[in-house]
Structure 1
Amino acid sequence: MRQAVVVIHGIGEQRPMDTLRGFVEAMVPADTPEGTPTYWSKPDRLSRNFDLRVLKSRGRNTTDFYEYYWAHKMQGTKVGHLLSWLWDLFKRPRRDIPQAIVPIWRATRWTLLALVLLVASGTLATIYGRFNHDANPFALIPLLLAGVGIALKFSALSYLGDAARYLSSNPQNVVIREQIRADGVELLRGLHQQGYDRIIVVGHSLGSVIAYDIVGYLWYEHYDQLSNVTPANQALVERYANHEKLQPVVQDTLPKAGRSLDGRLQNTLKFREQQSEAFLEQRALGNPWRITDLVTIGSPMAHASLLLGRSVSDFKQRIARCEAPACPPTLDEKGYGYNAQSPVILGQKPFTPLYLHHAAAFAVTRWTNLYFPAPFGLFGDIVGGPVMPVMGAGVLDLPVSVGKWKGFLAKSWLSHTHYWSERGGKRGYLDGLTLDDSAIVNGERPSATEALRWAVDLRGGRRFRPVGAREALAESEA
């Protein structure tokens, strides 16, 4: 069993491999009790960046960890890029602002309004001689504005500048956005060509938006590829002759599980099971898609209607028009897909394949989202949040915690960079698919690192083997 994990870093002055090494040390113990390393490093042949390496785990199930590094493409960001983006967000009406960040949005508006009034009143008072120039209390305002400008240039620009350029479709940002997406798709395409049985994509912060984009773009190359559905496939001919359904999951059970989604965790887990079955069904019919999981961490996708759309209604329309892949996918003619134009003759009977549509990546790819809750938009990770209310009830949102500094870290803005900082935790809490409503709603939140291990699920790759390989493995173990 070969599986690959792709880690996509977030905003800031990131260095190659820093994010990946920290992530792998959280997923895989650094050394065995005997002192033998549990993973090693080898050159990354899929990247043109010589600083990048592949971290390869030891053991029965081989896992290769890749980093998609994009920070170097964001050079040259100017204050104008940031201010243009912030102004676009600032002028949005209240109805288009996600509830989680309303306090920050209001505070920013009132602060800016007070600053404008202060500058205007001070200017007018000076002009009309109310204050002497040598004893003017408003004379410090230029210094205050200069301080704000310095903070924007050397602090906010290093972090928010990345978001401003990637999330804004202004003409000056188009080239960078396309380079980042194209290279990300190229990496995922290369991993498919390497013959991995399973691929997991993990995105942190802005990297989660990039992950969402490239998964959706790559799916467009795979959604209608069912290469095993041919008259020469005797196994399919025999099954069809015996009146067996060739696509029972994507035709029946998956859409049924999608219709049952109502925000309850039990139904979400059932839908995820059907997503895994749909993945295996598509693979058996010859679809080359190998991405089983998207894991987003501290993701601004929680505010997708603000960041990726012009308004809440505009973003909903994009989902309805299949421009933005949702989870569960937007309904089409036949559940999440449509019938092929031409049938295939299997034996003596025609069979019309069902294709999942071009925005139905999350029919076969599970989406797990981890976040530190931020009550009132102040006490926690204000960048991330629950994604399910925006992107669909099929997303599994997991609120997490961290025990550092007696739990205060989880309630601060610093929590955004501590999703895999702890190596301990309650391992039994997330072993297997044992989560229930009471454990999430009423119980203690899981450790962020342990929740991440559960979401990536390195030990669960065996269920995604081809059917024949899984049966042979079961016989050998018996």
Structure 2
Amino acid sequence: MVIGMTETPMNVRFPQGRTAFLLIHGIGEQNPYETVDYFAQNFLKYFQGQNLPTELEHLIARRKLANGGAWTESFVRLSPPHNEQDLIDVHEYYWAPDTENKTTVPEILQWAEQTLDGTIKFYNRKENKDLLDKLLDNQHRQGVFKFRLRSLTLFLRLFNFLYPGLRLAILLVLLLTGPMLKGRFLQSAWKLSKQLITPPLVNFVGDVSIYTKTNPKSPYQRIRQQVITDCLALLQQISQDPHARYDQVIIAGHSLGSCIAYDTLNLLCIEASLDKESSANMGIDKLKGLITFGSPLDKIAFFFRETAEEQQYIRQRILEHLNSFRVKPEFTRKISYLSKNPVTCKLEQLKWVNYFHLKDPISGNLDYYENLENEEMTDKTKWGTDGHLIYWTSMKFYESITNHFLYVSKK
């Protein structure tokens, strides 16, 4: 079956075939449909720049959570006028409420200090000496290693010390000025004091601190697992939607959302390996693409993945097998036993493109994984938040996605 057009010039016609994008947002206080808005608006802008008339349509579908609970999904469809065969649907997996306000400043500080300690221990291991030498040879990445994580830890220590006094002061001001307040200030002064005094950085780090705690003993492990299983449930329902009849489904994750996308595919591989006969009914054959942008996947793999002690080679191999989706062989421990991986699903047909920007402190070239393309974005932007968000509005980003996934011949 042919999906999309063969190598047709991009400005000739709307991409052929029926494509679904499942977007997964990143860290921060996200609102529902924001990623759909950014992605669909800028895809529309891109197609209009190619002189391709494009219509937008809001659609709804009945979905189920992993626990069986029903909900209604809203998504957006882009299509050429008077054409029901070619379409691009933009779906969203919204997970922000699962982590919002679930952790405290002292817990975030503890996580940052553990991360710093874990990073130092990682690079002090004998088997990682080459990685450390390579890191210290790169002036740009050397600064990241030496200063940014330490600076974050110092900032959190200072904020944790000042936080009680600052919050009490803001609370007193809100109580005294209560009669003159209006709008968003007409809410609980105690809750509002926390919102006003907590920097966005703390909220961002809070999301990461919850999601990266993979230890089953952590109280946040259940939150992380729920996020992944619900994402997989939505992905499979989109892939198998009898009304949309998609030719291909592409999962795209920004920032921490790229880690959720990766973990969802890793879980899908495990599920398919457990029941090989029904794997065809899981929508696996429709999955054709993975897009990661602004992704910290390498950082999380190096610094947060659960590892075993050197003498625990059986436990180490089990952990490697359960987190093996496209991991380079050189990052697995060399032992004589347990060489056969029971997770046999590899998603060979899935094309993976990772986008990063040197002004984005979160993202980077992904070196821990294989069978993917790393593509550097070169749009002019500022270092920091601007660099981390540049992908959403970059026409080069949408042009690259179109070239990689919409105007290619796939059998």
Shorter-normalised TM range: 0.5 to 0.7
The aligned counterpart of 1:173 is 220
**Structure 1 residue 200 corresponds to structure 2 residue 250:** yes
Assess if the C-alpha contact under 8 Å between 1:225 and 1:286 holds in 2.
no
Output aligned runs, 1:96-111, within 5 Å. 96=122, 99=135, 102-107=142-147, 108-109=149-150
Cα offsets for 1:6-53 (capped at 9, x unmatched)? 000000010111111111222334886999652211113226555x51
Assess if the C-alpha contact under 8 Å between 1:46 and 1:187 holds in 2.
yes
Which amino acid in 1 is paired with 2:120? R
TM-score of the two chains, using structure 2 as the length reference: 0.66
Assess if the C-alpha contact under 8 Å between 1:10 and 1:203 holds in 2.
yes
Output aligned runs, 1:404-415, within 5 Å. 407=380, 409=381, 411-415=383-387
Equivalent residue for 2:410, pick from 463, 469, 478:
463
**Structure 1 residue 363 corresponds to structure 2 residue 348:** yes
Output aligned runs, 1:229-240, within 5 Å. none
Assess if the C-alpha contact under 8 Å between 2:361 and 2:383 holds in 1.
no
Output aligned runs, 1:331-350, within 5 Å. none
Output aligned runs, 1:180-219, within 5 Å. 180-194=227-241, 195-219=245-269
Q: Which structure has the greater CA radius of gyration?
A: 1
* Mapped partners of 2:155, 2:203: distance in 1: 26
SS in 1 for 2:219: helix
Equivalent residue for 1:308, pick from 305, 327, 335:
305
Which amino acid in 1 is paired with 2:90? F
Tell me how far 1:73 sits from its aligned partner. 1.1
Tell me how far 1:84 sits from its aligned partner. 2.3
The aligned counterpart of 1:436 is none
* Mapped partners of 2:285, 2:120: distance in 1: 41
Q: 1:197 to 1:111 in 2, by over 3 A?
A: closer
* Mapped partners of 2:105, 2:329: distance in 1: 38
Assess if the C-alpha contact under 8 Å between 2:250 and 2:290 holds in 1.
yes
TM-score of the two chains, using structure 1 as the length reference: 0.58
Alignment coverage as a number of residue pairs: 325
The aligned counterpart of 1:381 is 360
Equivalent residue for 2:400, pick from 451, 456, 462:
451
Output aligned runs, 1:414-433, within 5 Å. 414-423=386-395
* Mapped partners of 1:400, 1:294: distance in 2: 17
Cα offsets for 1:206-228 (capped at 9, x unmatched)? 00000001111112233477769
Q: 1:29 to 1:413 in 2, by over 3 A?
A: closer
Question: Percent sequence identity over matched residues?
Answer: 21
**Structure 1 residue 56 corresponds to structure 2 residue 77:** yes
SS in 2 for 1:420: helix
* Mapped partners of 2:221, 2:151: distance in 1: 32
Tell me how far 1:90 sits from its aligned partner. 1.6
Q: 1:105 to 1:319 in 2, by over 3 A?
A: farther
SS in 2 for 1:19: helix
Cα offsets for 1:348-397 (capped at 9, x unmatched)? xxxxxxx9962543433221100002xxxxxx11111011x2123x2211
RMSD: 4.2
**Structure 1 residue 291 corresponds to structure 2 residue 287:** yes
* Mapped partners of 2:297, 2:232: distance in 1: 19
Output aligned runs, 1:43-122, within 5 Å. 43-46=60-63, 48=70, 50=72, 52-59=73-80, 60-77=85-102, 78-92=104-118, 94=120, 96=122, 99=135, 102-107=142-147, 108-109=149-150
SS in 2 for 1:175: helix
The aligned counterpart of 2:23 is 7
Assess if the C-alpha contact under 8 Å between 2:33 and 2:92 holds in 1.
yes
The aligned counterpart of 2:179 is none
Tell me how far 1:167 sits from its aligned partner. 0.7
* Mapped partners of 1:28, 1:175: distance in 2: 38
Tell me how far 1:196 sits from its aligned partner. 2.8
Q: 1:82 to 1:453 in 2, by over 3 A?
A: farther
* Mapped partners of 1:291, 1:75: distance in 2: 30
Q: Which runs of 4+ in 1 moved over 6 A?
A: 33-36, 110-116, 147-152, 311-315
Q: 1:328 to 1:383 in 2, by over 3 A?
A: closer
Q: 1:359 to 1:381 in 2, by over 3 A?
A: farther
Equivalent residue for 1:401, pick from 359, 363, 378:
378
Unpaired runs of 5+ in structure 1? 120-140, 229-281, 332-354, 374-379, 424-446, 465-478
The aligned counterpart of 1:273 is none
Q: 1:84 to 1:320 in 2, by over 3 A?
A: closer
The aligned counterpart of 2:127 is none
* Mapped partners of 2:236, 2:150: distance in 1: 44
* Mapped partners of 1:18, 1:164: distance in 2: 23
The aligned counterpart of 2:43 is 27
Cα offsets for 1:151-189 (capped at 9, x unmatched)? 983422321111110111352201211211111011112
Tell me how far 1:454 sits from its aligned partner. 3.1
* Mapped partners of 2:305, 2:37: distance in 1: 30
